[in-house]
Amino acid sequence: METTNVKAYGTASADAPLAQMNIQRRTATAKDIEIDILYCGVCHSDLHTARNDWGFTTYPTVVGHEIVGKVTKVGSEVTKLKVGDFAAVGCMVDSCQTCDSCKQDLEQYCSNGFTGTYNGKDKHLGGMTLGGYSEKIVVEEHFVLKVPANLNLAATAPLLCAGITTWSPLRHWKAGKGSKVAVVGLGGLGHMAIKLAKGLGAEVTLFSRTPGKEKDALELGADSVIISTEADQMGAVNGKFDLIIDTVPYIHDINPYIGTLNTNGTLVIVGYLGGIEPFLNTVPMIMGRKSVAGSLIGGIAETQEMLDFCGEHNIVSEIELIKMQDINEAYERMLKSDVRYRFVIDMASLK
């Protein structure tokens, strides 16, 4: 298969900083779309993968799965987009498309495992897929998304991960007018959960451990803020919420939040992968038919639905635009939660 040499930013080991390197992209096949990457969001998963925090990174790696750009080539069988259109790519670039999950537009739960935009098995070139910290990407048409013309392109990039990660549970658990939704954590995921839940018509509350987030939360659309370390405030919302979106990316005690669910309420974990500590108290779950669930990203159809909804309601992420050369500093700042609320790379700085 013919390939093209492309500039990228990646790393050769867990303890090495990201640096410029050259990678190979396949020449677009009949069903492929080639995209000149304009902006790429920076996700916590990028950092975890680059530093092998999850233990399964294959090096060298190029991360980035919140991609927005312009179509530069289309294959002969492509009908979704044309050269010059703005396009987006999220966390997936392939799946089997034949299993029950894929047939239900749930490619994220592909029985054979979806192919991640980075650090997935590249069925075209062999080796591993390489992500959006690069000049260009070539993706099969089915996994490319259309970007609404009215949205700011840079601020749209985080919708491809932070947006769809929170949109999918909001839709699955049918949040809307009359719903009472709470969000745990005000970061890249949390701020999108507030915006999207509010856009759907829900009454939205932020749970925060510190009072400093109140002003931002209200400006983003939250109706109220509960300081989760204050017993009286937690008691006042006991049994209130239909749905809680928990975006916290590290081990934390979820038991206090379960008590704030109403009968049949669900707490959905979207931020943390791993064991729950301390123990999960099942008493309030059994006594009120309350649930603790998990949710990944959304499928391609659902992601397009989310982008179209954001276009209709003019919803984008709150971002800080950086140069590609600043990514290592951005990672250190991200670890300190020193960003409001998502870094986005201006890929023009790489070219």
What structural domains does the chain harbor? Answer: 3-161+317-350 (3.90.180.10), 163-294 (3.40.50.720)
User: What pLDDT shows up at residue 282?
Assistant: 94
Residue 174 has pLDDT above 90, yes or no: yes
- Provide the percentage of residues in the chain whose pLDDT is more than 90: 93
User: Is a pLDDT exceeding 90 seen at residue 273?
Assistant: no
Do residues 186 and 208 touch, judged by C-beta distance below 8 A? yes
pLDDT at 212: 85
Contact 180, 241 (CB under 8 A): yes
Average pLDDT over the chain, rounded to an integer:
96
For residues 32 and 185, give the distance between their C-alpha atoms in angstroms, rounded to a whole number: 38
Distances, alpha carbon 61 to alpha carbons 13, 23, 46, 118, 339, in Å: 8, 10, 10, 8, 24
pTM here?
A: 0.95
The share of the chain scoring above pLDDT 70, in percent, equals 100
Return the pLDDT at 277. Answer: 85
Q: Which two tokens stand for residue 275?
A: 């064991």
Give, in order, the Cα–Cα distances in Å from 71 to each of 75, 88, 89. 11, 9, 11
Predicted pLDDT at 26: 96
How much is the CA Rg of the chain, to the nearest whole Å?
A: 20
Grade residue 290 by pLDDT with cuts at 50, 70 and 90. Answer: very high
Mean pLDDT (whole number) for 18-46: 96
How far apart, in whole angstroms, are the C-alpha atoms of residue 68 and residue 90? 9
Q: What number is the average pLDDT over the span 74-94?
A: 97
What is the average pLDDT across 40-49? 95
CB 321 within 8 A of CB 109: no
Confidence grade of residue 211 (pLDDT, cut at 50, 70, 90): confident
Task: Tell me the two tokens of residue 335.
Answer: 């670890």
Averaged pLDDT, 88-107: 97
- The pLDDT of residue 213 is 87
Encode pLDDT of 124-135 as tens digits: 999 999 999 999
Q: Name the pLDDT band for 75 (thresholds 50, 70, 90).
A: very high
323/326 Cα distance (integer angstroms) = 5
Give the pLDDT score at 278.
87
Match 């002003």 to its residue by tokens: 215
Q: Give residue 351's pLDDT.
A: 79
Q: What count of Cα atoms within 13 Å lies in the side-chain half-sphere of residue 287?
A: 8
CA distance 349 to 351: 6
**pLDDT at position 210:** 82
Q: Nearest Cα to 140, choosing from 1, 299, 33? A: 33
| Strand locations in the chain (E) | 3-10, 19-26, 32-41, 67-74, 86-89, 92-94, 115-116, 136-140, 145-146, 180-184, 203-208, 224-227, 241-246, 261-269, 291-294, 319-323, 342-346
What's the rounded Cα separation, in Å, for the pair 28 and 8? 18
- Residue 242 has what pLDDT? 98
Band (pLDDT 50/70/90 cuts) for residue 58 is very high
